[in-house]
Amino acid sequence: MLPQKQAEEAIVSNFSETDHEGNKEESSTRDVEENQSLFSVKNILWHGGSVWDAWFSCASNQVAQVLLTLPYSFSQLGMLSGILLQIFYGILGSWTAYLISVLYMEYRSRKEKENVSFKNHVIQWFEVLDGLLGPYWKAVGLAFNCTFLLFGSVIQLIACASNIYYINHHLDKRTWTYIFGACCATTVFIPSFHNYRIWSFLGLGMTTYTAWYLAIAAIAHGQVEGVQHSAPRKLVLYFTGATNILYTFGGHAVTVEIMHAMWKPQKFKYIYLFATLYVFTLTIPSATAVYWAFGDKLLNHSNAFSLLPKNGWRDAAVILMLIHQFITFGFACTPLYFVWEKVIGMHDTKSICLRALARLPVVIPIWFLAIIFPFFGPINSAVGALLVSFTVYIIPSLAHMLTYRKASARQNAAEKPPFFLPSWTAMYVINTFIVVWVFVVGFGFGGWASMTYFVQQVDTFGLFAKCYQCHPPSPAAAANTTAPHH
């Protein structure tokens, strides 16, 4: 079965029926011969391209640090709104991921009819927009995606330093950022999303443990004395919390790259939906339980770890989240690596070490920005409102409507409307609703709330802060924190 799987992997760039059979056979045979001597365990751990690999990648990439901030969002929104908005934005996110997959297949089908080969070339979202809608859309897609991924990577580094501080506060957060920046820089050696198989699997296991630790620990802790659940109280807080949830289900900036890493990309259609359904089993119970236990106290504790008693279970969750944030950093940076490689003409280079060296200029500014702006809470909300709203929801919906605006395009579409919505008109109605809703509520109200919150917090910021919001507990306080609360 191994040669057959490798042959499938080699054929991935020529899966279209319109490809020349001779080219496919030549390509697959060459790759099989090159890889037949490889040890099978390496293929199991390293060469991922199945439907399950894509599912693990999508589910693992969807929740990382945001898992720890969702209880804080519930304290701003209230429990009912928190649950309903998670379901709502999860479904919206799954729909727009489906639209991206359709547009990818359309672009690839058209290019392969022109005998364009994607051997040693990873298709990215901005190239899909360029091929289907022209250079202006390419520029828009590139700007939003790269900015989103850049700040997403910065947030992961800052969050690593913030989390490790709960275990060891003998080093300040800036020093921890130096350390984790060096660790995360090793992601330059991971060539593509083909090679995230074992990392995606481990990452999802780590978030699963952390989510259920939060839920069980909060229930075991019980409600704090005089607990109050007064949310929602202010519009600014409500829309700030809503924006964080919008951000939660916004892992689409890497969707095209994950699809391209599949042996059969046409099977991606509903993978994001199934990944989201699993993520619901992590985010909803954990956020609900922590908010039930601590209520309004969460308004001053954006990281759920800060309220739970320090013990071995919590420290294990912190360490697992740190490892997962390393994986998420790699997910966010890999598309940036590809863009940079294409700019400098190194994208088709086969040497892993040479490509790693070429990628380092991408990591260094991210590392530097994390040291300059060590406050990821306000950045989270701003990124959600100003970038995710367009990157994840508005641009894919508009692009789909414009790509299929002509009857000929709809008639010759590589992917027809889904079986549960077999009408182009219905698809246009849904896409229009998403564009209007996200522009008004996500970008409009969310942008207003996040920028208002940002301005309110400005006095607490400090560029190059040595230890932002650091309050090391005294020995007495630490002893009290360890004691169980009833």
Q: Read out DSSP for 321-378?
A: HHHHHHHHHHHHHHHHHHHHHHHHT-TT---HHHHHHHHHHHHHHHHHHHHH---HHH
**Structural contact between residues 320 and 210, judged by C-beta atoms closer than 8 angstroms:** yes
Q: How far apart are CA 36 and CA 52, in angstroms?
A: 23
Which region among 1-5, 22-26, 363-367, 403-407 has the lowest average model confidence (pLDDT)?
22-26
**Top-confidence residue, 365 or 40:** 365
- Going by pLDDT thresholds of 50, 70 and 90, the confidence category of residue 115 is confident
Rounded to the nearest 5 percent, the helix, strand and coil shares of the chain are 75, 0, 25
pLDDT in tens, 259-315: 988 888 888 989 999 999 999 999 999 999 999 999 999 988 888 888 998 899 999
pLDDT in tens, 62-92: 887 788 889 999 999 999 999 999 999 999 9
Identify the band that residue 452 occupies on the pLDDT scale cut at 50, 70 and 90.
confident
Distance set, CA 466 to CA 173, 247, 375, 461 (Å): 7, 28, 11, 11
| Alpha-helix residue ranges (DSSP H) falling in 384-465 | 395-403, 407-411, 424-437, 446-457
The alpha carbon of 445 is separated from its chain's Cα centroid by a whole number of angstroms, namely 23
DSSP state of 117: -
| Helical H segments across 222-311, by residue range | 235-248, 255-260, 271-294
Q: Could you give the 3-state DSSP secondary structure of residue 304?
A: helix
Computed over every residue of the chain, the mean pLDDT equals: 82
